[in-house]
Amino acid sequence: MKKLYYDIFDTKLCQVLLVWNNDWLKILEMKFLDELEKDFKINENWEENNDFFTDIREQILEYFDWKRKKFNIKLNLDWTDFQKKVWEQLIKIPYWETASYKEIATKVWNSKASRAVWLANNKNPIPIIIPCHRVIWSDWKLTWFAHWIGNKQKLLDLEK
């Protein structure tokens, strides 16, 4: 098993935790500014190391400063085949746009699998880079994201 490294840094909207294993990004977690009293759960086997994250940190900061719309980061998509198919579709949703769970379900399985897509979306370990915040219900209602619906709206507003 490869050693895992982590870094925590601030953006204009949130704190970000990154976890990397020398090959790819495994985890991206966010704590929005109104949630800073919550602590990230740092595994005791992870080692803090900012050196691994220079490029990734720069890309994420550029995203929050409206200078980046796509990421060039090697990701660990070592999950179920269905989750991978869903996340591959999420990456294709353009900046400034949204897609419905039903649209994604139609592309990966069948149009009646919206709930399965929602569950896969909910397990996304690398939000923003795999833009799960861009997926909404067909009636344009938002769903939970990073602890509450308002966080999803903050990211969608950032992209407008």
For the stretch 62-106, pLDDT in tens is 999 999 999 999 887 778 889 989 999 999 999 989 999 899 999
Contact 18/7 with Cβ under 8 angstroms? yes
- Kindly tell me if the per-residue pLDDT of 39 is higher than 90: no
Task: Give the per-residue pLDDT at 106.
Answer: 93
Q: What percent of the chain has pLDDT over 90?
A: 41
Q: Looking at the predicted structure, is the pLDDT value of residue 47 above 90? A: yes
Q: Which of 118, 108, 125 is nearest to 21 (CA)?
A: 125
Q: What is each CA distance from 112 to 22, 46, 84, 85, 98, in whole angstroms?
A: 39, 40, 18, 16, 19
Spatial distance between the Cα atoms of 63 and 126, rounded to a whole number of angstroms: 14
Please pick, among 14, 105, 129, 132, the residue that the annotation labels catalytic. Answer: 132
Mean pLDDT of the chain: 86
CB pairs under 8 A, 24+ apart, for 142-151?
Answer: 143/118, 146/29, 146/30, 146/32, 147/32, 147/35, 151/30, 151/32
- Would you call 14 a catalytic residue per the annotation? no
Query: Going by DSSP bridges, is the β-strand pair 5-10/14-20 parallel, antiparallel, or unpaired?
Result: antiparallel
Predicted confidence (pLDDT) at residue 146 exceeds the cutoff of 90: no
- 46 or 156: which leads in pLDDT: 46
Residue 94 has a pLDDT of 93
